[in-house]
Structure 1
């Protein structure tokens, strides 16, 4: 397999393609483009699957947001774990509902089952996302169970040559928590919003643009 085919690209985002198996932590203001950037990184070609844990908004809302950033939410390639709200009627074999973000075991089991389903459907390249980590951290007694959950998810992504993208607003948590969470990832994509618009920079990954670069969200 060629090197190009083993990498994941990001159309419309000023990042170079990353190797298969890469896990990214996206940090930034939740009301300042974090959702748009995270979902944009998860958007990919039609021959890639999408597996998304939504902890802040319902499954139906995140599908709308995903399509708004140009993503293809074809149910044949997209599966969701909804732990944000009580049932909104969207549960199916492609959408698993979890009663609370505190149920990390249940979320992990649904992720594994849906990952296998996408793989069985012939989608061997899968982008896996969590938006956002905030509720998981709030409901947990401390950061350790969330780190273990993320470490397990990242390991699954790495073993399956997938792409992991998880988002968090660092302003909502203490610095120690963010540092602990970041250890589960290969690199961090930082987002900021200023008078000139949105900018991002990458930490921990080689072959990426240096410093802050403009990004349109």
Structure 2
């Protein structure tokens, strides 16, 4: 079981089964990206192995944002798969960084995921959080069906290895068809939206379900 805090915006600690995949989607400035980072940072503080797949920020920026949440917590249990820059600059943290040429190289990303999971398992980590930020960037380079197939394989790997998968989608109001396709790969969907200048959220797939929109 994996502890997850603030997913339902109630401050409670919920626990999800091993192999669960969670999708977080929402427009900018709604809190969706903060929730993604918070759930990933929770894995660091819980002493789990944590893998970040980043397609729109450099590894250095990811680690800077992560350390702003975890404070002085060691990041030696963190692996970054940097598919944005194709190279790494010197790190000020003790995380491990693997590089992929670009978000177009889904095969390369898949190979690095395997390498990262093997690395963490060899170091004795039996619980691993695997995060992907952002699905939106992949959608800029690939068709919706290609992205879905990649996510389907990724979520299947999470299930098979008893990990916890967390994906982030920076959604636009016109993305509804793509949202439906992407969310089909995930067990839980935490959605954010702006309505009449009010941010609302709901969670589908987590017991008890919160299908009604409520102010976030």
What is the distance in 2 between the residues matched to 1:72 and 1:153? 31
- Within the candidate set 2, 9, 13, 2:4 is matched to 9
| CA RMSD of superposed structures (Å) | 2.6
Per-residue Cα deviation, 1:63-104 (whole angstroms, up to 9, x for no partner) = 111222337763421001111224242489921111110100
SS at match of 1:60: helix
Residue equivalent to 1:3: none
Query: Can you give the 5+ residue segments of structure 1 that lack an aligned partner in the other structure?
Result: 1-5
Correspondence 1:171 to 2:169: no
- For 1:100, which of 99, 102, 106 is the aligned residue? 102
How far apart in 1 are the matches of 2:31 and 2:210? 20
The two structures have a TM-score, normalised by structure 2, of 0.84
**Where is the strand percentage greater, Structure 1 or Structure 2?**
2
Could you tell me how far apart the structure 2 residues matched to 1:164 and 1:33 are?
Answer: 19
* C-alpha separation in 2, matches of 1:54 and 1:17: 25
TM-score under structure 1 normalisation? 0.84
Give the Cα–Cα distance (whole angstroms) in 2 for the partners of residues 64 and 155 of structure 1. Answer: 30
Distance apart, 1:187 and its partner CA: 1.7
Taking the TM superposition and a 5 Å limit, the aligned residue runs for 1:56-67 are 56-67=56-67
| Structure 1 residue 197 displacement after superposition | 6.7
Are 1:131 and 2:126 counterparts? no
The one of 94, 99, 111 equivalent to 1:109 is 111
Q: Distance in 1 between matches of 2:199 and 2:104?
A: 32
Corresponding residue number in structure 1 for 2:39: 41
Over 3 Å counting, the alpha-carbon distance change for 1:121 and 1:143 in structure 2 is same
Cα distance in structure 1, aligned partners of 2:140 and 2:27: 17
Whether the 8 Å contact between 1:53 and 1:129 is mirrored in structure 2 is: yes
Shift in CA distance, 174/214, structure 1 to aligned 2, threshold 3 Å: closer
Deviation at 1:11, TM superposition (A): 5.8
Q: In the alignment, is residue 158 of structure 1 matched against residue 153 of structure 2?
A: no
2:84 match: 84
Quick one: which of 16, 21, 25 aligns to 1:27? 25
The 5 A counterparts of 1:193-212 are 193=194, 198-209=199-210, 211-212=212-213
With 119-128 and 79-88 compared, the bigger mean Cα shift is at: 79-88
Residue 8 of structure 1 deviates from its aligned partner by 2.7
Instruction: Give how far 1:193 is off.
Output: 5.0
Q: For this pair of structures, how many residues does the alignment match?
A: 209
